[in-house]
Amino acid sequence: MQTITKESAKKAWAGAIAKPATEFPLTQLPILSGKIPDGLRGTLYRNGPARLERGSKHMGHWFDGDGAILAVHFTDAGTTAVYRYVQTAGYKAEAAADKLLYGNYGMTAPGAIWNQWLKPVKNVANTSAIALPDKLLALWEGGKPYALDLQTLETYGEDDLGGLNTGLPYSAHYKRDAQTGEIFNFGITPGLNAKLNIYQSDSTGKIIQKAAYSLNGVPLVHDFVLAGQYLVFCIPPVRLNIFPVLLGTSSYSDSLEWQPKLGTQILVFDRQTLSLVSRGETEPWYQWHFANGYLDASGSMIVDIARYEDFQTNQYLKEVATGETHTPAQSTLTRVHLQPQTGKVTTIEQVLNRHCEFPNVPQQNVGQASRYTYFSSFQKGTDISQEILNAIARFDYQNQTLTEANFKENLYPSEPLPAQDAQDPEQSWVLTIVYDGNSHSSEVWVFDSDRLDAEPVCKLGLPSVIPPGFHGTWKSA
């Protein structure tokens, strides 16, 4: 009788993170099927944790992995790609020592407890990316962004954007207004007197205004939303028990507590003055991500979120780093209606009874009404406690229809990113990086956004496996 080992019982996605990812230099990509659209010109950037162990020691949470950027350049001469680790100070120090040296979101620093005070948390630069006119920023919410070359991904170093003083972090989830070019972002300064720092930048990324708002306790705030003239934060009822973190006896992640009695706090800020407009409270939920926000004709605000009923999602994401998950955590696309002047929530409605993560809208629609929301999901019949995201979809609010891409077993697409065609503004494409667990390889897939359920218009081969990541961006040529 064959004995099933723990290793062989793992799902196919585990192969993508079993070993640290392999970088590759600028490489021409072979076309595996179809044809690259003539109007698809620009660069797809994707960020994610690419190394989850060092010196035979494993990191404590998926969020702790060292960030690596994939750039896929679509040009008239063909498509090339480059994949490189972000050369953060912590990455270089650990590479030289060939061992883990720092604490992070899901792990304490190695060594004696008293040693925790001497070791800074490593900036892993692994969550998202923003393409500015002259540089790419690799983003992580616990520190400053790292600047990289847009073409080669050479790391320039930390960037303060002209306004990030010591201790001011810059989150991974910026919002960019396509009409004005303005960029908004935030960062949480933890401590006994935690602060929500809000930043307004010009189109080059330079910070031109900032404000700070005191918070009750230390909440976990990962994202926010731009909605017309407002910036909106939904503060979930997760609070940090800070003393075990300060003592070095527990990681940040393990010290986060779900406190549903606190409810969800709604903070609405004016985008031009960064001043608080209103504050409200509503029922408890947790969200990592917002899809979008906007004001309707009556001045009421609509905010779309990927809503979880509790904080089990954090345990699931911790388990991903081990290559084997068992905690179910489902979120659904949910629409919240609120009054911006009072912060009062009027209705909360589930849009779809399907898992929804990494939701986004076309770049030109950020902060405005958008007919479409794109997101990652699970295929029907998937055991969501054991798999990672294995589907992408588009929801059409106008027709109330859901269109899903078809993926065979053991194929895992990244967050779907819409890209507008350079020649036809009515045409757009959807880009995703697919890990094939059957052949242990990665590919770039391009879909027609209006035919997401049809075969991709193009598939391109990549030189090495790109592990499942978090967020990316499209920069038009």
User: What span, in angstroms and rounded, lies between the C-alpha atoms of 284 and 263?
Assistant: 4
The whole domain housing 423 covers: 14-476
Q: For residues 446-464, give the mean pLDDT.
A: 98
Integer Rg of the chain from CA? 21
User: What span, in angstroms and rounded, lies between the C-alpha atoms of 142 and 145?
Assistant: 9
Q: For residues 408-413, give the mean pLDDT.
A: 97
Q: What is the pLDDT of residues 16-64, one digit of tens each?
A: 999 999 999 999 999 999 999 999 999 999 999 999 999 999 999 999 9
Instruction: Supply angle C-alpha 298, 300, 305, rounded to 5.
Output: 140
Residue 7 has a pLDDT of 46
Q: Is residue 233 a contact partner of residue 185, using CB atoms and an 8 Å limit?
A: no
The per-residue DSSP string of 32-79 comes to EEE---TT--EEEEEEEEEE-EETTEEPSSGGGSEEEEEEEEEETTEE
Q: What is the pLDDT of residues 269-326, one digit of tens each?
A: 999 999 999 999 999 999 999 999 999 999 999 999 999 999 999 999 999 999 999 9
**Residue written as token pair 């007197």:** 193
Residue 248 has a pLDDT of 82
Give the residue from 84, 67, 240 showing the smallest Cα distance to 143: 67
Residue 112 has a pLDDT of 56
- How far is CA 366 from each of CA 144, 178, 226, 418, 465, rounded to the nearest angstrom? 24, 7, 7, 12, 31
Whether residue 7 is contained in a domain is answered as: no
CA atoms within 13 A on the CB side of 263: 9
Residue spans of alpha helices (H) in 259-387: 312-320
Any idea of the CA torsion for 436, 470, 373, 448, to the nearest 10 degrees? -40
Any idea of the CA torsion for 312, 318, 320, 322, to the nearest 10 degrees? -140
Is the model's pLDDT at 8 over the cut of 90?
A: no
DSSP element (H, E) containing 94: helix 89-97
Whether residue 90 is contained in a domain is answered as: yes
Whether residue 6 is contained in a domain is answered as: no
Residue 1 has a pLDDT of 40
Q: Assign residue 208 the CATH number of its domain.
A: 2.130.10.10
Cβ-in-10-Å burial (0-12, 13-18, 19+) of 441 comes to middle
If phi > 0 it is left, if psi is from -120 to 50 it is alpha, else beta; for residue 348 that is beta
* 262's tokens: 């606190």
Name the least confident of 77-86, 118-127, 414-423, 449-458: 118-127
Residue 115: which pLDDT band, with cuts at 50, 70 and 90? low
Residue 6 has a pLDDT of 46
Residue 113 has a pLDDT of 59
Whether residue 352 is contained in a domain is answered as: yes
Q: Is residue 266 a contact partner of residue 276, using CB atoms and an 8 Å limit?
A: no
Q: What is the pLDDT of residues 329-385, one digit of tens each?
A: 999 999 999 999 999 999 999 999 999 999 999 999 999 999 999 999 999 999 999
User: What span, in angstroms and rounded, lies between the C-alpha atoms of 409 and 404?
Assistant: 15
Buried-exposed string 374-393: b where 16+ CB fall within 10 A, e elsewhere: bbbbbbeeeebebbbbbbbb
Whether residue 38 is contained in a domain is answered as: yes
- Does the pTM surpass 0.75? The reply is yes
Number of structural domains in the chain: 1
* Residue 269 CA to its chain's centroid (Å): 23
Q: What is the pLDDT of residues 118-159, one digit of tens each?
A: 567 899 999 999 999 999 999 999 999 999 999 999 999 999
Name the amino acid, one letter, at 365. Answer: N
Name the least confident of 102-116, 368-382, 415-429: 102-116
User: What span, in angstroms and rounded, lies between the C-alpha atoms of 356 and 292?
Assistant: 13
Whether residue 2 is contained in a domain is answered as: no
User: What span, in angstroms and rounded, lies between the C-alpha atoms of 367 and 177?
Assistant: 7
Which residues touch 411 (CB under 8 Å, ≥6 apart)? 390, 434, 435, 436, 437, 438
Whether residue 3 is contained in a domain is answered as: no
Name the least confident of 189-198, 384-393, 404-413, 430-439: 189-198
Mode of pairing for the β-strands spanning 183-189 and 175-176: antiparallel
Residue 247 has a pLDDT of 80
Is the model's pLDDT at 160 over the cut of 80?
A: yes
Name the amino acid, one letter, at 351. Answer: V
pLDDT > 90: what percent of the chain?
91
If phi > 0 it is left, if psi is from -120 to 50 it is alpha, else beta; for residue 425 that is alpha
Whether residue 273 is contained in a domain is answered as: yes
Is the model's pLDDT at 5 over the cut of 80?
A: no
**Residue written as token pair 């910070």:** 207
**Residue written as token pair 């979880």:** 308
User: What span, in angstroms and rounded, lies between the C-alpha atoms of 152 and 150?
Assistant: 6
